[in-house]
Amino acid sequence: MIQSFDEIQKFGQDSMDAAMRSLGALSSNAQAIAAESAEYARKTFEQGSSAVEKLFGVRTIDKAVEVQTDYVKGAYDSLVSQSAKMSVLYSALATETLKPYEGFVAKATKA
């Protein structure tokens, strides 16, 4: 069916609005992911530096193993926690970026 010029223009405007909202969501979520990644890198560096400083001060092998064990446990817990945070952030990125297009295909194919 041939659509009127007004319907075509409305469709074009709707698609442009959806694209702009999608790009806005992409930008804000990407900034949140970058900030979280930078913060994790900073914390990881500080934890590593602290562990190295402690290792320089140990006098026995047992104490060195204890320091390394504590560091590895903390690093693992931090990694698991960060992975969960990043998973939530990436899920939000996908959800919010595609949300403006919800129902858009149905409108476009509606005759």
pLDDT of residue 43: 97
Tokens representing residue 12 in the block: 């074009």
Interval 46-104: pLDDT, tens: 999 999 999 999 999 999 999 999 999 999 999 999 999 999 999 999 999 988 888 77
Residue 106 lies in a domain: no
C-alpha distance across the termini of the chain, in Å? 7
pTM: 0.78
Residue 105 lies in a domain: no
Q: Between these two residues, 46 and 18, which has the higher pLDDT value?
A: 46
Band of pLDDT at residue 5, cut at 50, 70 and 90 = confident
pLDDT of residue 12: 82
Whole-angstrom CA distances from 41 to 36, 68, 85, 86 are 9, 19, 14, 13
Domain count, the chain: 1
Other residues' Cβ atoms within 10 Å of the Cβ of residue 100: 19
Residue 110 lies in a domain: no
The residues, any chain, with a CB within 8 Å of residue 70's CB and separated by 6 or more, are: 51
DSSP E strands in 36-99: the ranges are none
Asked if residue 111 has pLDDT above 70, the reply is no
Residue 108 lies in a domain: no
The residues, any chain, with a CB within 8 Å of residue 98's CB and separated by 6 or more, are: 22
Residue 111 lies in a domain: no
Residue 109 lies in a domain: no
Asked if residue 19 has pLDDT above 60, the reply is yes
The domain containing residue 47 runs over which residues?
5-98
